[in-house]
Amino acid sequence: MILHHWNLKHLWYNPKMKIYNNIKIRLLQACIIIKLLLKNINMLTVKMRTNNIMKLKTNKLSLQTLITQKKKVNILDIKIMLKIHTFLIMKKKNINNNNKNKNNHMRNHMKNQSQ
């Protein structure tokens, strides 16, 4: 399946999200298109955040390229990007959780000391 360059304006616009930065809007729209395309894939617990997408690069394409250039994009590239992306998000979550646990551990330790 080949994904062509879509006119994203018609697909998604949410006036509540007042993002005037065109690229951000486009990136968010692209996420939604990708979610629609890959609806049947369990992987789509993915919530794509714009800054992660900006960072996200694969060997062939970045999501930005997919949107800003009129290129044909292979669905496999998108799946790979999503996998990398999910991995990045999970990694970030784990780091945050580990930090929380460390902080709680220290807090409890201090409490116990003072009693």
Residue 115: the pLDDT is 62
Model's pTM, two decimal places? 0.25
So where are the chain's domains? 2-114
* Sequence-ordered list of residues with C-beta below 8 angstroms from that of 4, at least 6 positions apart, any chain: 72
Residue 94: the pLDDT is 64
- pLDDT in tens for each of the 115 residues of the chain? 333 444 444 434 444 444 444 555 566 666 666 666 555 443 333 334 444 444 444 434 455 555 445 445 455 555 566 666 555 556 666 666 666 666 666 677 677 766 6
Backbone angles phi, psi at 14, to 5 degrees: -120, 105
**Biggest distance spanned by C-alpha atoms of the chain:** 66
